[in-house]
Structure 1
Amino acid sequence: MITFPKNDIQKLCVREFSCHELNANLLWPGTFSFATWLVKNRSILDGQRILELGSGTGTLAIFLRKAFGVDITTSDYDDKEIEENIAYNCKANNLDVLPHIRHTWGDPFPVSRPDWDVVIASDILLYVKQYENLVKTLSFLLKEYKQNGQKAGCTTITDKSGTQVPARSPMFLMSWRRRIGKDQSIFFTRCENAGLEVQHLGDLVYLINNKS
């Protein structure tokens, strides 16, 4: 049983399994801090189609679905055990099983016309050797985005300095619970080289968009 930052939906039942080569079996601490940030900035999610990369146990997606009723799809490494565990955790929390996409970063994405307005992830920068593949997947999701109807989400996010930052779809919101070190900075450099813009919003949350 774990506790999340919302009075009426504080506790979730989450099953973690013993081991996985990419650590998708565990609930990472960054999930909690990112959930807190999203609760404070929930208008970003209103009326949006959301995709979570690196869903792991599915906990963040389950929380957002239960707390706000968002339209959210989980995604992780192409692995049956991960998908089945996310489905188990959905049912354990009295939810219908969320849509799930098996996808190994860097491989062709199984959806040819991505229409997710907001892509989210937390604690996914563990493996430097995967950065190139992650950026390839992220570039596809942002650059090939096809809007599906009119969206009602907020148009700005307030960053750590109080500045209003445009929040245009498609966007990638990522939390990383540690201070960015030399290795992680490689990821942001690769994003910029791929034509993406990176902004630090504070609270270890980053916004990535297509460059204007």
Structure 2
Amino acid sequence: MDIAIFSASSLFGEDDAPTREENAETPESYVERKHQFPGMELIVREFSFHQLNANLLWPGTFAFAEWLVQHRSCFEGRRAIELGSGTGALAIFLRRSYNLDITTSDYNDQEIEENIAHNCRANEIPVIPHIKHTWGDKFPNSTPDWDLIIASDILLYVKQYANLIQTISFLLKCYKPRDRSAVSLTGNDTNDGDVVLPWPAFLMSWRRRIGKEDESLFFDGCEKAGLEVKHLGSRVYCIKPVGNENSETKS
């Protein structure tokens, strides 16, 4: 699939694109479901339909949660941001289970932000900070201090790969740690058995199946942008700036 994610006209014919009035919230606009995550059940309100595909929990969310539980030292003590948070379920799981310092982010859409806040309250945690941002646009924070970027199942829209890579590159290459002592205490990397996670790192789970040619466009694009891709197994990938052997990357 190579349609763009960020406009109604890219998902529908121009004459068929739904208007905000047609998408106004009604009792049928949302479906609240219970989902099993490792060690807990979460209540997640999902859109019955959302033109930006932020409506449902996708397979990578659950697979990624399992992987993270098995490799918890990779993220404990980190400051994280999730790209393409959708319902916010993964971030809510990590905050509730491990008190992870995490920020959610997704396309600049008020309904997405409000739904994540609703799901935080439904699962009895404080509302997680959220950043509205369209991939490829100027990032709201000019000096990002997230040392871990996470995402699951965000490679569906091939036309957005260049924009996604631009955002990932910015977050990794312009990383400025909020607390330098925290980085120095950890050494250069976080090591969990055979998994070595650099500071900073982009950690992605990809469970949706698309053609290998389309999938390779993303990974090849990362390499052309000066990013190194490493497959960690279980369709989890670690991406970092090429040559980043230090605990932080200079901008």
Q: Give 2:140's match in structure 1, choosing from 72, 95, 110.
A: 110
- Of stretches 178-187 and 45-54 in structure 1, the one that deviates more from structure 2 is 178-187
Q: Distance in 2 between matches of 1:208 and 1:170?
A: 9
Q: Distance in 2 between matches of 1:28 and 1:145?
A: 29
Q: Distance in 1 between matches of 2:131 and 2:91?
A: 13
State how 1:3-22 maps to structure 2 within 5 Å: 3-6=36-39, 10-22=40-52
Q: Give 1:41's match in structure 2, choosing from 71, 82, 87.
A: 71
Larger Rg: 2
Contact 1:13 1:93 (8 Å CA) reproduced: yes
TM-score, with structure 2 as normaliser: 0.78
- Of stretches 17-26 and 171-180 in structure 1, the one that deviates more from structure 2 is 171-180
Q: 1:29 maps to which residue?
A: 59
Q: Give 1:210's match in structure 2, choosing from 241, 245, 251.
A: 241
Q: 1:61 maps to which residue?
A: 91
Q: Distance in 2 between matches of 1:108 and 1:19?
A: 28
Q: Does 1:156 align with 2:191?
A: yes
Indicate the RMSD between aligned Cα atoms, in angstroms: 1.3
Unaligned runs of 5+ in 1: 159-163
Contact 2:59 2:208 (8 Å CA) reproduced: no
Q: 2:231 maps to which residue?
A: 200
Q: Deviations over 1:141-181 (max 9, x none)?
A: 000000121136662245xxxxx353211100000014572
Q: Does 1:126 align with 2:156?
A: yes
Q: Distance in 2 between matches of 1:94 and 1:41?
A: 25
Paired AA for residue 4 in structure 1: F
Unaligned runs of 5+ in 2: 1-33, 244-251
Percent sequence identity over aligned pairs: 63
Q: Deviations over 1:40-75 (max 9, x none)?
A: 011111111000000000000000000001000000
The CA deviation at 1:131 is 0.2
